[in-house]
Amino acid sequence: MADRSRNIIIRCDACKQKIFKYKKVGRGHILRCYKSRIIEDNAVYQDDKVLCSCGNEIGVDKGRFIKMNVIYNV
């Protein structure tokens, strides 16, 4: 059975700056980023919000994972 994981880069929708380098497992959209799979973290944390350095809100910190603000560009 093949390993179905891959490293992806999550960027800010507003300024295109790199937010996370993330190890994605499986298919489908990224609704949650599990903190244990984040390889590189360039996000700004403010209370429970996760922001880009430009101020755009990326998601909400829920403890073990970050609930992403998802925009479907399919």
Who contacts 61 (Cβ-Cβ below 8 Å, separation ≥6)? 45, 48, 49, 50
- Spans of all domains in the chain: 5-68
pLDDT in the model for residue 29: 85
Q: Please identify which residue in the block is written with the tokens 């992403």.
A: 68
- Span 16-70, pLDDT tens digits: 999 999 999 988 888 999 999 999 999 999 999 999 999 999 999 999 999 998 7
Q: Please identify which residue in the block is written with the tokens 């996370």.
A: 20
Q: Who has greater pLDDT, 11 or 2?
A: 11
pLDDT in the model for residue 28: 84
Question: Residue 5's pLDDT band (boundaries 50, 70, 90)?
Answer: confident
pLDDT in the model for residue 72: 61
